[in-house]
């Protein structure tokens, strides 16, 4: 990714991150085949957050091949459930097969289709949200998420610093201008809105954690 952290810092942190051995093959497949899965340090952050928060229900946007969903499922309390949204049929097929093969079918449900449409209809209580797909739409999703996020719930949003472009106009490439504009608006919104307490963390491609103060 680059532009968020000095590589020696990133390399050092990654050296300390423990491998989730039950998911090594999925991670390696993703890396070899250019499937964008969470960075190791973000994986570690998610695992810590899930174990602190102990969510019964997690909503994820962006399943890809199921890696992050299975990381979270692996540290959720018994009876926990993840609903994860994906629109790409090839990803859906691979995620289904991975989730079944790794024994997470009881915990992880894939909702197939456009996140915008699925979230507009979404009506289930959730304790934690992981936004990792449709980068330009996080702000639009917020309204739907807030209808369903329990008091004291958290929203974790990945890629919020988007290769450094969000913080510096000098790094913005022309075809990403809209995403940059929308992501800045998302970060301003969740930072200013009294209903949230937000922390933006420069690891991976940038992660924002927002706590629902209601
Ligand atoms: C970064 S990948 C997700 C990686 C996954 N969370 C992981 O770390 O293992 C983003 C995924 O979001 C999906 N996606 C992007 N926009 C979407 C949308 N509007 N609705 C549903 N899925 C979307 C893409 O097809 C892609 O598979």
The answer to whether the beta carbons of residues 85 and 118 sit under 8 Å apart is yes
pLDDT band of 100, cuts 50, 70, 90: very high
Task: Output the average pLDDT for the chain.
Answer: 97
Q: What is the mean pLDDT of residues 170-191?
A: 96
Residue with tokens 């890629």: 159
Take residue 29 and report the two structure tokens written for it: 């497949």
How far, in Å, is the centroid of ligand 1 from the Cα of 22?
A: 22
pLDDT band of 156, cuts 50, 70, 90: very high
* pLDDT value of position 3: 86
Q: How far apart are CA 157 and CA 28, in angstroms?
A: 23
Cβ(132) – ligand 1 distance below 6 Å: yes
Cβ(98) – ligand 1 distance below 6 Å: no
- For residue 4, pLDDT over 80 is answered with yes
Q: Which atom of ligand 1 is nearest to the CA of 158?
A: 1
Q: How far apart are CA 195 and CA 182, in angstroms?
A: 20
Cβ(205) – ligand 1 distance below 6 Å: no
Domains and CATH numbers, the chain: 7-212 (3.40.50.150)
Cβ(88) – ligand 1 distance below 6 Å: yes
For the chain, percent of residues with pLDDT exceeding 70: 100
> Vertex 204, ends 190 and 78: CA angle to 5°?
75
Provide the total of helices (H) and of strands (E) in the chain, helices listed first: 8, 7
């Amino acid at each position: 990714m680059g532009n968020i952290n000095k590589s020696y810092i990133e390399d050092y942190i990654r050296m300390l991150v423990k491998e989730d051995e039950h998911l090594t093959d999925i991670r390696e497949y993703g890396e070899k085949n250019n499937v964008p899965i969470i960075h190791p340090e973000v994986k570690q952050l998610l695992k810590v957050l899930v174990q602190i928060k102990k969510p019964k229900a997690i909503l994820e946007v962006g399943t890809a091949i199921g890696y992050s969903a299975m990381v979270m499922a692996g540290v959720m309390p018994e009876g926990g459930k993840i609903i994860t949204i994906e629109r790409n049929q090839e990803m859906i097929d691979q995620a289904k097969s991975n989730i079944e093969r790794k024994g997470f079918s009881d915990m992880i449900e894939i909702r197939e289709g456009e996140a915008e449409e699925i979230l507009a209809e979404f009506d289930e209580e959730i304790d934690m949200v992981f936004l990792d797909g449709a980068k330009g739409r996080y702000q639009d999703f917020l309204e739907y998420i807030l209808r369903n996020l329990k008091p004291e719930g958290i929203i974790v949003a990945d890629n919020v610093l988007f290769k450094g472009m969000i913080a510096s106009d000098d790094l913005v490439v022309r075809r990403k201008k809209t995403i940059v504009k929308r992501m800045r608006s998302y970060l301003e919104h969740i930072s200013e809105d009294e209903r949230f307490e937000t922390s933006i963390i420069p690891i991976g491609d940038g992660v924002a954690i927002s706590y629902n103060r209601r």
